Amino acid sequence: MLRTKTGQSTLEFSVFAIVVIGALLTMQIYIKRGVQGRWRESIDDIGEQYDPRHSDNLTVDTQTATAVTNIFLEEQADGFTTMREDTVHSVEEVSGTRSITAP
């Protein structure tokens, strides 16, 4: 009688293990799809990324140039002394758009 109970317990355990493994294998597809959906959602939340091979740049540079030079001459007892004063101001303006695309 004890032998039949041992065999029955082993059989019950085997059936239980098969049912649990079957349930996990069946749910594997749903779990994988759920994880992939979360990854996709996270990637979509990040937004569009910078790609150096495909970009459009709006370029606006400004530079102005003005140069003023003053030379002063002073007469002294032993000769003349000169002084020079330079003032430089520059402006240059460049506007445009650059498109960079990879082949």
Asked if residue 102 is part of any domain, the answer here is no
**Angle subtended at Cα 13 by Cα 12 and Cα 14, rounded to the nearest 5 degrees:** 90
Q: Has residue 3 got a pLDDT over 60? A: no
Asked if residue 100 is part of any domain, the answer here is no
Q: Has residue 52 got a pLDDT over 80? A: no
State the total domains in the chain.
1
Structure tokens at 88: 């430089």
Asked if residue 21 is part of any domain, the answer here is yes
Cα–Cα dist 15/22, whole Å? 10
Asked if residue 42 is part of any domain, the answer here is yes
Asked if residue 101 is part of any domain, the answer here is no
Q: Which of 47, 89, 42, 38 is nearest to 68 (CA)?
A: 89
Interval 53-91: pLDDT, tens: 777 777 777 777 788 888 888 888 888 888 888 888 777
Domain of 16 in residue numbering reads as: 2-48+58-95
